[in-house]
Amino acid sequence: MFRLVLPSIFIFIFCLTFLMGDSAEATTADWVLSINTKVIERCLNYPNSKLSPLVRSSIYFEQNVLEPSDVDKELQKRGAEPDAAIPETLYEYLYSSHFRTIGMRRFKQLVIKPGTTGTIKVTTSNSSFKQEEINAAANATIRMYLDLYLNKMPLRSIVVPRDGFDLFIQELQRHGFRTFTLVPGQFNQSVATLSIRSEPASRQQYMNYGM
């Protein structure tokens, strides 16, 4: 069901982005959205449990403010509100089990400034459930990708741990994304294009949806 409606959602997002116009100002820095996964120990791990291991994805966002330009200073003299920095803020928890998202708890609204670009950074714990954590991180990334574009917050790149890079790519492929080679000067028809790179830096992969 998710894969059937996803193309329609992307088309809607694409049209919405152009209709709303760009309201970004030079004083607001790029935002960072962090996805941290962890296996919840001693939770739902009773004998014959079908929900263990339970993986929690903690999602945070933050945005800094740059030095205002002369134009911004003049607007502020005339009564315009200056931008305010957003410290690291807990957005929501997503809970996953056996490659499915089974729960969510939201704490705040996503108040990143529309029109600004940013990065998703993924970190995983050192648990023995590497595959499950990468799957949870990929699911959270796709959900946040839709949230960001619906709120007109373009995603610049996704940064993932180098030791989980291949698994992360495989998980996105499982959801219908395909790898491609970016050719300078060649038009890319896909609305949903992702740039994934490793941390430490050594690998990069471009992906789009359904192409």
- Predicted confidence at residue 17, as pLDDT, reads 39
pTM: 0.78
What tokens appear for 114 in the block?
Answer: 């529309």
Mean pLDDT by 10 residues, the chain (211 residues): 51 40 48 95 77 92 77 74 81 92 94 89 89 95 92 92 96 93 70 88 90 59
Provide φ and ψ at 209, rounded to 5°. -95, 125
- Predicted confidence at residue 22, as pLDDT, reads 35
3-state SS of the chain: helix, strand, coil percent to 5? 30, 35, 35
- Predicted confidence at residue 53, as pLDDT, reads 86
- Predicted confidence at residue 16, as pLDDT, reads 40
- Predicted confidence at residue 32, as pLDDT, reads 94
- Predicted confidence at residue 15, as pLDDT, reads 44
What tokens appear for 11 in the block?
Answer: 């088309």
Q: Are 203 and 167 in contact (CB under 8 A)?
A: no
Task: Tell me the CB-side half-sphere exposure of residue 136, using CA atoms within 13 A.
Answer: 31
- Predicted confidence at residue 2, as pLDDT, reads 47
Neighbour count for residue 149 (Cβ, 10 Å): 20
